[in-house]
Amino acid sequence: MKPRCFQIQPQDNVATLIDDAISGPVEVIGASRSELIAPEKIDRGHKVALCDVAAGEAIMKFGVRIGHATRPISRGAWVHLHNLTSDLDDRSGTLDLHTGAPTDTTTAYV
């Protein structure tokens, strides 16, 4: 079975993977139906671009702007902390790519 991603609203330019994707075809379901090509392995629950997105362009999910691209993003690519930042949280660009932990502060152990 082909991995699937779900587009919530027609104006969304990202969809959420509901299956783990390997490099290759991914079926888009939900607000629209199509197919895209994932260029790499992407875990379920993560976002993929439904179209090419220019640096600075809005990232739309749930029909609302959730942030903007920090660099160009190709159709099918993983959309996450390495190429997206929140418009509401300046620290989102400092979070660890895989854990989401802050990287701009140190932890004091007692």
Q: Which domain holds residue 10?
A: 4-94
Q: Does 35 fall in a domain?
A: yes
Matching residue, tokens 């509901």: 18
Q: Does 106 fall in a domain?
A: no
Q: Does 24 fall in a domain?
A: yes
Per-residue pLDDT band for 19 (boundaries 50, 70, 90) equals very high
Q: What percent of the chain has pLDDT over 90?
A: 74
Q: What is the pLDDT of residues 37-55, one digit of tens each?
A: 999 999 999 999 999 999 9
Alpha carbon 41 to chain centroid distance? 13
Q: Does 99 fall in a domain?
A: no
Per-residue pLDDT band for 71 (boundaries 50, 70, 90) equals very high
Q: Does 60 fall in a domain?
A: yes
Q: Does 109 fall in a domain?
A: no
Q: Does 45 fall in a domain?
A: yes
Per-residue pLDDT band for 92 (boundaries 50, 70, 90) equals low
Please give the tally of structural domains in the chain: 1
pLDDT of residue 54: 98
Q: Domain of 10: which CATH number? A: 2.30.130.110
- What residues contact 109, with CB distance under 8 A and at least 6 apart? none
